[in-house]
Amino acid sequence: MNATQQVHDADKRAALEQVLCSATFLRASQVKNFLRYICEMELAGRASALHEYLIGVEALGRPTAYSTDDDSSVRRRAFALRQKLEQVYAVELADAPVRIDVPKGSYVPRFIPVPGGPEQEAACRRSAVA
């Protein structure tokens, strides 16, 4: 399976829970809130609404008067999130069948199936039967 193939919502939720329950994310409450929020928005079909101000207010608890020009907390947390995702998939979740990625320049998460994972094997079995 390649990254352009669709990942089912149940698999996306499982990938999210694996990351949130990992030791890498254990003490990173703001980063966990950030990740949970952007993934839930994507799962709800609202990924296009994700932007810095909304994440700051709704995920990180910034006041509604908060200014993205004066407060870089969302950008800092996004940077930390990307680092932690890289770390968790390098160590704890190296065999995860679906990985979460947040590309630079975006707050929209991507759920990427890993070649050779259980989801690909199931798809191969289904196509062989058909």
**pLDDT, tens digit (0-9, with 9 covering 90-100), for 21-79:** 999 999 999 999 999 999 999 999 999 999 999 999 999 999 999 999 999 999 999 99
Q: Is 22 left (phi over 0), alpha (psi -120 to 50) or beta?
A: beta
pLDDT score recorded for residue 6: 86
pLDDT for the residue 115: 86
- pLDDT at 117 (0 to 100): 55
Residue 81, SS3 per DSSP: helix
Tens of pLDDT along 83-111?
Answer: 999 999 999 999 999 999 999 999 999 99
Look up residue 79 and give its two tokens. 């940077």
Which pLDDT value is given to residue 116?
Answer: 74
The 8-class DSSP code of residue 114 comes to P
Instruction: Tell which residue, 63, 79, 66, has the closest CA to residue 28.
Output: 79
CB atoms within 10 A of CB 46: 12
Rounded to whole angstroms, the Cα distance separating 46 from 85 reads 22
Supply the pLDDT for residue 128: 45
12/31 Cα distance (integer angstroms)? 18
- pLDDT beyond 80 at 3: no
